[in-house]
Amino acid sequence: MLYIAPSLLAADFSDLKTDIARVEAAGANYLHLDVMDGHFVPNISFGAGLISSIRRSTNLFFDVHLMISNPLKYADSFIKAGADILTFHYEAVKDPMAVMQAIKEKEIPCGIAISPKTPADAVYPFIGKGLANMILVMTVEPGFGGQSLIPECLDKVRLIRRFAMQQGLDLNIEVDGGINGENAAYCIEAGANILVAGSAIFKTKHPRVVVQQMREAYKNKPFLV
């Protein structure tokens, strides 16, 4: 199944409730929440307080992308705020396996994200039964919305999809950064089944058209792995 995850970073922060309702009505399944600490990435976004406020206004699945240096320290506050999955960066921590296990022990699904310079095989140890619930392959350098997709990052999606399939696993692979209605087909073809799109969905007058374009791409292109 294809999941479409608009990134709140591109929403109108003066009227989040209306903007979230708009993307929900357009057919999105997830709300992608980019948490940035100004340390792991050179930008600051929002934290658990904002997430818990918007939790009351939508039933969308809260896909929390932690671009922070100490994910474990804040995990409980994001769970309490209403996160449905916590994804942390492989590059942010010394022992990603221990962090993943500690998050999973809190009975919340855990994803692992890799930035463009991190090779695909870095996440292979986390792929298997009882391990990561999702792999997030960044298609831009983390930190800012509105950048252009780096096509080489899709090669990593292909490798990770192939690795998971060899083990008979139906792994969730998310791509994030510069994704729009036009390039969604390439992401899907590479093996992604969760598409994050900030600017392309929040900043258009017709989010439903973009969502439909993405869903069409999924119908038409089986995985070429």
Binding-site string for ligand DX5 from residue 16 to residue 35, where x marks contact by CB under 6 A and - marks none: ----------------x-x-
What's the 3-state SS for 92-145?
A: HCCCHHHHHHHHHHCCCCEEEEECCCCCHHHHHHHCCCCCCCEEEEECCCCCCC
Nearer to ligand DX5, 111 or 145 (CB): 145
Q: Nearer to ligand DX5 by C-beta: 146 or 151?
A: 146
Smallest separation (angstroms) from Zn ion to the CB of 224 = 25
Q: Is 34 a catalytic residue?
A: yes
Q: Which does 115 bind (CB under 5 to 8 A by kind): ligand DX5, Zn ion, none?
A: none
Distance CA 77, CA 94 (A): 21
The two tokens of residue 112 are 């692992």
Q: Is 70 in the site for ligand DX5 (CB under 6 A)?
A: no
In the complex, minimum distance from the CB of residue 2 to ligand DX5, in angstroms, rounded to a whole number: 16
Query: Cβ of residue 6: shortest distance to ligand DX5, in angstroms?
Result: 8
Residue 168 backbone zone (phi > 0: left; psi -120 to 50: alpha; other: beta):
left
Report d(CA 79, CA 175) in Å as an integer. Answer: 23
CB of 149 within 8 A of CB of 179? yes
- What positions carry a catalytic annotation? 34, 176
Q: Which residues contribute to the site for ligand DX5 (CB under 6 A)?
A: 7, 9-10, 32, 34, 65, 140, 142-147, 176-179, 196-200
